[in-house]
Amino acid sequence: MANIGNEVQFKVYQNMSDPDPDRLPVIYEEWKERARQVLEDGPYYYVAGGAGGEQTMEANREAFNQWKIVPRMLRNVENRDLTVMLFGETYESPLMHAPIGVQSIIHPDGEIASAKAAAAMGVPYIASSASTAPMEEIAKVMGDAPKWFQLYWNRDPEVTASFLKRAEKAGYSAVVVTLDTPMMAWREFDLKNVYLPFLAGEGVGNYLSDPAFCSKLTHSPKEDPAATIMHWTKTFGNPSLTWSDLSFIKEQTSLPIVLKGVLHPDDAQMAVEQGMDGIIVSNHGGRQVDGAIGALDALVDICEVLHHQIPVLFDGGIRRGADVIKALSLGADAVLIGRPCMYGLAAAGETGVREVLQNLLADVDLTMALAGETSVRALNRSILKGAN
């Protein structure tokens, strides 16, 4: 992955005399446009839409615009290092594939395609609880490539415990516990389109293959799919949870636990006090609380109080290399890529996701070099200027 930016650029420009007329997009907006062209309204807006009036999605982008990179010169940036260390492991780059459920609604190969693409790029894949392909199948196609499991904390503790045991057995090396989705938000496009993919049996692969979940059904999922989905809707989220319940998760797994969806500095501090291994600052891509703080603004607030006590990961609105550089310079140890991968998947399956990740890595590498930096781990606020 060293100096990947120069390599990818070179590969593109060497075809200058005869460029492939069917080549895939480079520009984020064009990937999104291609996804729009191939998807029906339901699936497209399920991915592209946010909660309410989508103010949080806007805030995510605005927050990036508040920071400008101030490049430094003459600093020997010939060789760069994109590697990061998390929970005792070295990862090839600071990018991770965000946990994203129900990918089968945008491409028939769904999570399998994304997981293979992430593995090919050395980008850790975070498998969602709400995948259509069961976690074991995803793990299998990834071989030894780095992978984490994202837990939706089920109302039934036996299902939660079972998911955690399965993830550990399947070879996932960390658990991401998503806290911001104890129930589905007010998503105007999905309501308008009358579209909730789970009700059509998408995104429930981990549940249908789970012995604890199936043991609570009167009839097997095959015999009575409608009752199965009804049971799923009743048990999927658990709004009654509190901080003290985290001890249950700790008892169920020996893997590092990372809390996703933290936005308030006090909650970040609570995560530390509860012995959590890391947090992901995230507002779920603006899909849960409308009118919420931009994720990057929350990152700044949180890093100010946390002082590197535990790793802080980040997602929300990352579209280009400069966004990654800003998030890392403001204190993130790694970042998760969400919608860009999904537009790549919708438009071109596994190849699309690989291309999106490869281009983003190249952009990160070149932007870091041109900002005068050689290591993502050493990035800090000294190369940034706030708008205020």
User: Contact positions toward ligand FNR, by CB under 6 A?
Assistant: 46-47, 98-101, 128, 130, 150, 178, 260, 282, 284-285, 287, 315-318, 336, 338-339, 342
CB 258, CB 280: distance < 8 Å: yes
Q: Which residues pair with 279 in a beta bridge?
A: 259, 312
For residue 284, indicate whether it is catalytic.
yes
DSSP string, 220-243: -TTT-HHHHHHHHHHHS--TT--G
Whichever of 328 and 369 has its CB closer to ligand FNR, that residue is 328
Phi/psi for 285 (5° steps) reads: 60, 30
**Min separation Cβ 266 and ligand FNR, Å:** 21
Name the one residue in this structure whose structure tokens are 């400069």. 322
The two three-digit tokens of residue 358, written as one number? 């490869």
Q: Give me the torsion for CA of 141, 147, 148, 150, rounded to 10°.
A: -40
Whichever of 294 and 331 has its CB closer to ligand FNR, that residue is 294
Whichever of 7 and 58 has its CB closer to ligand FNR, that residue is 58
- Nearest partner of 146 among 92, 195, 105, 194, judged by Cα: 92
Whichever of 357 and 369 has its CB closer to ligand FNR, that residue is 357
Q: Which residues pair with 90 in a beta bridge?
A: 85
Residue closest to ligand FNR (Cβ): 338
**Min separation Cβ 114 and ligand FNR, Å:** 12
**Min separation Cβ 7 and ligand FNR, Å:** 25
| Catalytic member of 97, 231, 284, 308 | 284
**Min separation Cβ 68 and ligand FNR, Å:** 20
Say how far apart CA 349 and CA 114 lie, in whole Å. 8
Active site members: 284
